[in-house]
Structure 1
């Protein structure tokens, strides 16, 4: 985003900024974004319990390629082992089905809890973004009014000068 902002500011022909000004603006935007993100992260960390953090970690692992690959390896190993003479869960693998059902029964609610917390975080960020945008729009309107007043004053001064 800061690079996009620099490009937009640099493209404006009537407000060409020098490198120092562009650097200062970029630094301010990055610092502001960092402060907002760190504040939200700290607020969420204070608000979440140890169970919430565990649920987030389980959901993070459960939705990863590592989990998929490890689980596929477990399933294949289970089936291969139980097709040999050391089988303790012969086909149709009733014990394996029970294990899979139990994993699903526990993993699904944990993932849903994690998703609900993420949705709450997203909602807070959206509200904060709206507040920031609203405040920026208010400041822009104030600046526009000020510029219009300055323009009117300048026109009056030019008229007075032209009369003299």
Structure 2
């Protein structure tokens, strides 16, 4: 067994176990417990739960009026609303073109209803859009923070990989030197 390790050292090959043992001995390349704990927390938090957590926080902060505005805006911007509203307009016009009309053309009551609907619906949609913009801003800040932290960790990993590469080059050089001196 020991001869195999010596043969590997002489041939310049190094097993991953040997490399990890060498890194374990190098205090500058080790991850400390704080870094390991931080990585564990990040992995635990960021596995697909960021946006759901953010939505839950938004829902806790929002009032029932805000949630109602969101539902109205969602319905007002759907195909269901468009189809129902077109149906309502057609039925209204057909009924009022008959002999028992209560709003004869030019449909002044219908104009009043449409004006009231748009006067009500516009601010509700704007409130919902403002809440969505605030939510998007929080998500953008969170994405920036995650990307920034990932970039820092990538830089740290790059430094560790460069050290590892230098160490491997040294080991290979030592193995070549041993091999050349043993011949």
**TM-score bracket, shorter-length normalisation:** 0.7 to 0.9
- Out of 154, 159, 162, the residue aligned to residue 173 of structure 2 is 159
In the alignment, structure 2 segments of 5+ residues that lack a partner are 1-42, 179-183
| Normalised TM-score (structure 1) | 0.77
Please name the residue that 1:92 is paired with. 106
In the alignment, structure 1 segments of 5+ residues that lack a partner are 1-28
CA distance in 2 between partners of 1:110 and 1:99 (Å): 17
The Cα offsets for residues 59-97 of structure 1, whole Å up to 9 and x where unpaired, read as 000001111111111111111111111111111011110
- RMSD of aligned Cα (Å): 2.0
CA distance in 2 between partners of 1:45 and 1:54 (Å): 12
1:67-78 to structure 2, matched below 5 A, reads 67-78=81-92
Matched, 1:127 2:123: no
For residue 170 of structure 2, give the secondary structure of its aligned residue in structure 1.
helix
Please name the residue that 2:14 is paired with. none
**How far is the alpha carbon of 1:118 from its aligned partner?**
0.8
The Cα offsets for residues 4-52 of structure 1, whole Å up to 9 and x where unpaired, read as xxxxxxxxxxxxxxxxxxxxxxxxx8x8343212211111111111000
CA distance in 2 between partners of 1:76 and 1:33 (Å): 50
CA distance in 1 between partners of 2:47 and 2:172 (Å): 43
Indicate the structure whose relative CO is greater, using CA pairs within 8 Å and at least 6 residues apart. 2
The Cα offsets for residues 98-155 of structure 1, whole Å up to 9 and x where unpaired, read as 0100000000010011011111111111111111111111111101101111211222
Please name the residue that 1:64 is paired with. 78
